[in-house]
Amino acid sequence: MTRKEIKSVSLLYKTNTVSNTSKKIAVFPGSFDPITLGHVDIINRALPLFDTIIIAIGSNATKKHMWSLQDRKTAIEQLFENNNAIKVATYDGLTATFCKSQGAQFILRGLRNSTDFEYEQTIAQANDKVNGIDSVFIISSPEYGFISSSIVRDIARNGGDYSKLVP
C-alpha cells in the first residue's frame, strides 16, 4: 500500500481542511433501501468522531427501489429522532457536491470486506483530488459484516423474515 493509499483510509484530519474551531461534519451517503443494523452500527461508532453526521439518501431515478424515498427518509428520521448530532437529508447528483452544499468536510463509509475497500478507495481518492473531500472508513463490526440492503431486499421480496437485519 502506498503512502497515498494509506492517507485515504486514515482517520487523521487534514489541518488545512478542518481547523480546531470548525465543526466536523460528515456525510454518510447511500440508498438506505432499507437502512440496516450494519448502517446503524457504522453511524453509532462514527458519532464520537464528528460534530454532525448527515445521513444522505441519494435519489437515483435509474434504480428501482423497494421502499419510497419518503418512506426511507421518515424511517431514518424516526430512528435517530433523539440524537441532535444526526441529520437526515435527500439529494440528487454527486455526493461531493452535496457535501460542499452542507459544509461537510468528510464522507463516511462503512467497509464490510476487501471488495468494499477496493470499490471505495478509488472514489475516495477522486473525491479528495477533485473536490477536497476526505473519506473516513469504518470497518463493520463482525456481527454485521454480512448484512447488506440487497440481501434484506431479496429476503423481503421472497417473503422471508428480515427483522433481525434491520432496526
122-143 residue pLDDT tens: 999 999 999 999 999 999 999 9
In a domain, 5, yes or no: no
- Distance, CA of 112 to CA of 43 (rounded, Å): 14
What pLDDT is stored for residue 61 in this prediction? 72
| Total of domains in the chain | 1
- Distance, CA of 64 to CA of 137 (rounded, Å): 27
% of the chain at pLDDT higher than 90: 83
Q: Among residues 63, 114, 163, 164, which one is catalytic?
A: 63
Q: Among residues 39, 65, 72, 109, which one is catalytic?
A: 39
| pTM listed for this prediction | 0.86
Q: Average pLDDT over the chain, rounded to whole?
A: 90
Is 149 tagged catalytic? Answer: yes
DSSP 8-state code for residue 129: I
In a domain, 12, yes or no: no
Is 100 tagged catalytic? Answer: no
Q: Among residues 8, 65, 112, 140, which one is catalytic?
A: 112
In a domain, 166, yes or no: no
What pLDDT is stored for residue 68 in this prediction? 94
Is 112 tagged catalytic? Answer: yes
* Contact predicate 35/53, CB 8 Å: no
What pLDDT is stored for residue 20 in this prediction? 54
Residue-number span of the structural domain to which 142 is assigned: 23-157
3-state helix, strand, coil in the chain (%, to 5): 40, 20, 40
Q: Using 50, 70 and 90 to split pLDDT, how confident is the model at 45?
A: very high
In a domain, 69, yes or no: yes
| 93 pLDDT higher than 70 | yes
In a domain, 70, yes or no: yes
What pLDDT is stored for residue 1 in this prediction? 53
Q: Which residues pair with 108 in a beta bridge?
A: 136
What pLDDT is stored for residue 156 in this prediction? 97
In a domain, 147, yes or no: yes
Helices (H), the chain: 3-9, 37-46, 69-79, 95-102, 114-126, 149-157
Which pairing describes strands 52-58 and 134-139: parallel, antiparallel, or unpaired? unpaired
Is 65 tagged catalytic? Answer: no
Question: Which tens digits make up the pLDDT trace of 49-92?
Answer: 999 999 999 987 778 899 999 999 999 999 999 999 999 999 99
What pLDDT is stored for residue 21 in this prediction? 60
In a domain, 104, yes or no: yes
CATH code, domain carrying 149: 3.40.50.620
In a domain, 65, yes or no: yes
* Contact predicate 67/34, CB 8 Å: yes
